[in-house]
Amino acid sequence: MTATAFEERGVSPGGAWHARQTLPAGAEPGVRRSIGGGRMSRGGRSADTPPADEDTPRAAAGTGEAGTDPPACAQAGPHDAGPHHTGAHRAGAEHSGPEPRVARRERLLATATELFTTRGYPATSVERICGTAHLPLRAFYEEFESRESLLIALHNGVARAGMEATLTVLGDPALESAAARVRITAMGRAYVEAVTDAAAATRIAFVDIVGAGRAVEEHRLLWRGLWSDFLTAEAERAVARGEVPARDYSLAMVALTGASNELVAHWTRHSASFSRELLADELIHHALATLGIAGGDGSAAGTRADEGN
């Protein structure tokens, strides 16, 4: 995968990039664009809006009650059922105010993060997000096409941080000719440090996003495919250098990617029980074991001692 192809997925490479030049099979253009940010639609339709043949009640615009579209969002985007807010708040929807859009977007993301991790994603409506953030609905739909696209943006922030941290550490000239064990150890530590930087964001990206809807799931699987390709390329590099047995590692890396995601998800649920360092050790252990690298036990006494070799 070239740097240009990678940037199309919304990530600016910070170092060497060795993955393949193909998207995961079946990735549709609308879903591909979702990696670049929070706005997405499929065929002109919001990701939250069910197809016409789905048996989903449609709302009569104008009431603002659960299951209906208030005037502020009837034309701007789909409405998520939620609590009814005050008339003063609805009046504010007539304009977005002087606050810079970047600041409004950050406020919406921060508010959604808090609500998703306390109330849960299914129980948090667009109206509640706007009410809690003290912003009109119009401000929301200027940034996101739907609640689903906001969730994608939150996941994207964590996913991009992990990938960019990995690429940055690989950009170190000392790692260009390093052994696979050293590279994997460095990547694993950089990745874990990046994706666990904020506990609430980590929970959303690795726990709450699962089962949040078709478009969100396609976005999540697209990132998993990207990581699988990236790790397969690292395995092929190790094969070419004679460090690991020659074989097709693509399926092994699919399994490793899934296991890594579940390890981080487990950490978010039990972070008081084990440290980020132990999480990194275990992730590195799995990666080295998958490649069949001897002595790669992932422990502090093992991988950390090998980092300079």
Q: If you compute the radius of gyration of the chain from its CA atoms, what whole number of angstroms results?
A: 22
The helix/strand/coil state of 32 is helix
How would you write the pLDDT of the chain (309 residues) with one tens digit per residue? 434 434 444 443 333 333 333 333 333 333 333 344 433 333 333 333 333 333 333 333 333 333 333 333 333 333 333 333 333 333 344 444 556 888 889 999 999 999 998 988 898 899 999 999 998 999 889 889 999 999 999 999 999 999 999 999 999 998 888 999 999 999 999 999 999 999 899 999 999 888 888 888 889 889 999 999 999 999 999 999 999 999 999 999 999 999 999 999 999 888 778 889 999 999 999 999 999 886 544 444 344 444 444
Residues 121 and 218 in one domain: no
Q: Please name every residue paired with 42 in a beta bridge, in sequence order, or none if there are none.
A: 45
Does 182 map to a domain? yes
DSSP 88: H
Residues 33 and 154 in one domain: yes
Residues 184 and 246 in one domain: yes
Does 54 map to a domain? no
Cα angle vertex 126, ends 37, 68, to 5°?
125
Does 43 map to a domain? no
Residues 73 and 169 in one domain: no
Residues 233 and 272 in one domain: yes
Q: Can you give the CATH number for the domain in which 9 is found?
A: 1.10.357.10
Count of the separate structural domains present in the chain:
2
- Structural domain containing residue 232: 3-37+148-306
Residues 75 and 165 in one domain: no
Which of 144, 170, 191 delimits the end of a domain?
Answer: 144
Residues 73 and 175 in one domain: no
What tokens appear for 285 in the block? 């252990």
Residues 160 and 15 in one domain: yes
Which of 115, 144, 173 delimits the end of a domain?
Answer: 144
Residues 137 and 154 in one domain: no
